[in-house]
Structure 1
Amino acid sequence: MIKLEQIHHVAYRCNDAKETVEFYKEMLNMDFLVAIAEDRVPSTKEPDPYMHLFLDAGNGNILAFFELPTKPKMGRDENTPEWVQHIAFRVADEAALMSAKEELEAKGLDVVGPTEHGIIRSIYFFDPNGHRLELTYVKGTDAQMKQLAEVAPAMLEEWSRTKKAPKHAAWLHEEEFKDA
């Protein structure tokens, strides 16, 4: 039986390897761990030069990127809203989140939020490749997390049948939508 221990790394494409490393080092204080470059893809053996970067996202989590100079310029799935695909990083608490927001804005980034999600609070911004990033802190109680876990199967089943948002966990965003 398969037993996963953790995500080793998640890899995304980037436009410029050096610019990407500098952004994550400067904006999020991530350490640059490893660079791997080859002229052929090890798994398929096809010729396709690349630079593969690995950055330390804390606690054994690694964020990786590929620069692919021989491929057409990267884009994004035009059928998927830009808010959907994102990379979320956890910070310690509200003070750390607000401090990060101030720091990122002082460094010239446009930051959305904080956004209230009931059990977490988040801010959002983009890296130079167009990847949406989220910084979040967990504020949910054990009871709230237990409640969400209990209703998750029913919510999924209802969604699967109706394709309409089940209301079992609507309390998560009551604060965000109270004036809407």
Structure 2
Amino acid sequence: MSDVADHPVKLGGVHHAAYRCKDAKETVEWYGKVLGMDYTTAFAEDHVPSTGAYDPYMHVFLDAGNGNILAFFELPNQKDMGRDENTPAWVQHLAFRVNSEEELLSAKEHIESLGIDVLGPTHHGIFKSIYFFDPNGHRVELAADIGTDEQYAELKRVAPLMLDEWSETKKAPRHADWLHEIARKEHAQKAKG
């Protein structure tokens, strides 16, 4: 692995991540109502600025907090939205941070009160998550970090070892089994009551 400190590209964060939506207005309203995102900007063109192709679109931008922007394109002249049928629905998703496990549980209660099915919380050792789908079929995750500095440091230490082993075997490396044991112990404690 190369030393990123000497890399010639110096990123300042994610400017925005863009996805397709079925209906821009419905999407803006859903993200506002469900996740409290502020609708900040829209661009609408008949021709794509980067290619010049005729393809009318509405491009909407939502504030996800801390300078993170989520954007969507509505493309009325394109075929209906689909998804990659070769990739399981749980793989591609949008994940947003909440500040605590209490906020995660409160968010779950709010989202369920809107009639949206929510899966979780799921314990991932160093964070807990809930999952649900937006009106476009995009899976959304809310995650609350619960790990310690030592746990995050250990995960960073073993990350290269895990990637190398995965590259050779295509089987889950056991370098972070302790992480799963944390979740198993909590689950067992809750089962005991």
- Cross-structure match for 2:113: 106
Aligned mates of 1:138, 1:176 — CA distance in 2: 17
Summarize deviations over 1:46-72 as a string: whole Å, max 9, x none: 110000000000010000000000000
Summarize deviations over 1:106-131 as a string: whole Å, max 9, x none: 11110000000000000000000000
- Cross-structure match for 1:82: 89
Change in Cα spacing, 1:49 to 1:43, as seen in structure 2 (3 Å) is: same
- Cross-structure match for 1:31: 38
Superposition misfits of 4+ residues, deviation over 4 angstroms = 176-179
> For the Cα contact (< 8 Å) 1:38–1:49, is it kept in 2?
yes
Residue 76 of structure 1 aligns with an amino acid whose one-letter code is R
- Cross-structure match for 1:117: 124
Aligned length: 179
Residue among 144, 169, 172 paired with 1:162: 169
- Cross-structure match for 1:67: 74
1:169 CA displacement = 1.1
- Cross-structure match for 2:137: 130
- Cross-structure match for 2:4: none
> For the Cα contact (< 8 Å) 1:11–1:65, is it kept in 2?
yes
Summarize deviations over 1:79-132 as a string: whole Å, max 9, x none: 100100000000010110000000100111100000000000000000000000
> For the Cα contact (< 8 Å) 1:115–1:176, is it kept in 2?
no
Aligned mates of 2:106, 2:30 — CA distance in 1: 18
Residue among 25, 28, 43 paired with 2:50: 43
Summarize deviations over 1:13-45 as a string: whole Å, max 9, x none: 000001100100000010000010000000001
1:160 CA displacement = 0.4
Aligned mates of 2:31, 2:179 — CA distance in 1: 30
Aligned mates of 1:51, 1:137 — CA distance in 2: 32
Residue 176 of structure 2 aligns with an amino acid whose one-letter code is A
State the TM-score, normalizing by the size of structure 2: 0.90
- Cross-structure match for 1:18: 25
- Cross-structure match for 2:3: none
1:165 CA displacement = 0.6
1:176 CA displacement = 5.1
1:170 CA displacement = 2.2
1:172 CA displacement = 2.4
